[in-house]
Structure 1
Amino acid sequence: MQYEFDWGMLLRSPYFGWIVEGVLTTFHLALLSWVLALTLGIVIGIFRVTNSRALRVIGTAYVELFRNIPLIVQLFLWLYVAPQLLPTETRLWWNRLDYVPYWTAVIGISFYTASRVAEQIRSAILAIPPGQFKAALSTGLTTTQTYRFVIVPYALRIILPALTSEFLTIFKNTALALTIGVVEITATTRKIEAWSFRGIEAYTVASLTYAATTILVVVFMSWLERRYYIPGLIRREREAA
């Protein structure tokens, strides 16, 4: 029997509404997780290179713990195990929240990605010439101000390509949230397939969503890299050659 395509069904109710809701969930889950992961990753990355031994131990322990456990395992741990470790009142408050699986996915994806971002931040900071630190401190800036206004902005510009890849990874990792009950675009396509038996059409929507988004992100980040690149980097010198 030959399969007959019906692309128009994607525009009919209720499938179109499900698709829109799934895409929006994917986007705000990825963006919120990315903001939290980038913020936490910067802090942990600084911990990894600070002069404080205690902070270095904390940073190293965080990275090795969250980076080496598969994300899908972490999601299950956050959903089923972590709440049991909370005080009773806090656990009851958490369980009364709306969309607990969604917030669990945000926490799990953010903490996992932050461990990867932290290593990128650490490598970028170590690549900055020591003279940058001394020059900033000589102007009267404190260590905190030096990292905030000089070192971290410099480091972020160095690792823009790596951060692009990391954001694309976090966007695609949102698909794992379906395993804990979050109805993002992949879960939506499974739902459409179950209702309509149109798996090809349904999964094509998910594939195009991921592909289109990643292309737009790459284009934007390429422009951002050209706009804020640091003159003298090897890559730019080679391009100029």
Structure 2
Amino acid sequence: MTWDWQVFCKSTLGEEAGASCFGQNGDVTYLDWLLSAWGWTLSVSALALMVALATGILVGILRTLPSAPWRWFGNAWTEVFRNIPLLVQIFIWYHVLPQVFPVLQQLPSLLLVVFALGFFTSARVSEQVKAGIQALPRGQRMAGLAMGLTLPQTYRHVLLPMALRIVIPPLTSESMNIIKNSAVAFAVSIAELTMFAMQAQEETSRGVEIYLAVTGLYFLSALVVNRIAGLIERSMRVPGLAAGGAK
């Protein structure tokens, strides 16, 4: 088998590879398309991660409150979004909810995928946050309340700063998973890496080169997230806190 990496320098219009692998005068090469698809993958992943963290932290807090209705709501949210396959959730957001709530018809497909992927991941984040809060000694909550802090203030100033530091490692895994899970966005015609690979392979018949390049970009993206999270973890590590929880 002969590999032809020059396929990325070819025009998407079927012309032969030129002197530059980047298109000129409005022409688009497969390398241009690949980099654009990578940008879409990173955009979907970054936005979905923000939705997942904001929602997951809030739901995780609700699941540890003394109020039973709030705990029930948090547990219900987690079970619903955790137990429905991600691809099904994306189809629900894309095909079902816009019919029930017409205002969603005005949103671009990108945002619908971001919400689906973000809420799906928020269920997993809530599990991490709940475990982090429960890993703390009960005396910390009691001490905060005894000092005159309200329950929200106790969470904000006492529990969350410690709990979030504990759960940075599992949140790193969720950040990497979002990048991989963003591949399902092709199902609603988001021009991300997986859709690029499928269409470019059909047009060029160079599946080995195409899929190797896409795999490399997924790997590179996840690796960068892992390294950044590792730096954050080391900078925020609590002295005397073991990897498995609080001492």
Which residue pairs with 1:229 in the alignment?
A: 237
Question: Are residues 1:24 and 2:24 paired?
Answer: no
What code does the residue aligned with 2:61 have? I
1:236 is displaced (CA, Å) by 8.7
Contact kept in structure 1, 2:97 and 2:104, CA below 8 Å: no
Which residue pairs with 1:160 in the alignment?
A: 168
CA RMSD of aligned residues (A): 1.7
Which residue pairs with 1:6 in the alignment?
A: 4
Determine the C-alpha separation between the residues in 1 that align with 2:106 and 2:72.
35
Question: Are residues 1:114 and 2:122 paired?
Answer: yes
Residue by residue, what CA displacement relative to the aligned partner does 1:38-58 show, whole Å, maximum 9, x if unpaired?
000011001101011110111
Q: Looking at secondary structure, tell me which structure has more helix per residue.
A: 1
What code does the residue aligned with 1:233 have? L
1:134 is displaced (CA, Å) by 2.6
Which residue pairs with 1:192 in the alignment?
A: 200
1:84 is displaced (CA, Å) by 1.7
Which residue pairs with 1:51 in the alignment?
A: 66
What code does the residue aligned with 2:43 have? H
For residue 41 of structure 1, the aligned residue among 28, 31, 56 is 56
Instruction: Report the TM-score, using the length of structure 1 for normalisation.
Output: 0.89
Instruction: Report the TM-score, using the length of structure 2 for normalisation.
Output: 0.87
Residue by residue, what CA displacement relative to the aligned partner does 1:137-170 show, whole Å, maximum 9, x if unpaired?
3443321122123211211100111000011111
Runs of 4+ displaced beyond 6 Å: none
Determine the C-alpha separation between the residues in 2 that align with 1:85 and 1:96.
13
Determine the C-alpha separation between the residues in 1 that align with 2:206 and 2:149.
62
Question: Are residues 1:177 and 2:192 paired?
Answer: no
What code does the residue aligned with 1:140 have? G
Q: Which runs of 5+ in 2 are unaligned?
A: 10-20, 22-27
Q: How many residues align?
A: 228
Question: Are residues 1:70 and 2:85 paired?
Answer: yes
1:9 is displaced (CA, Å) by 2.3
What code does the residue aligned with 1:59 have? G
Q: Which runs of 5+ in 1 are unaligned?
A: none
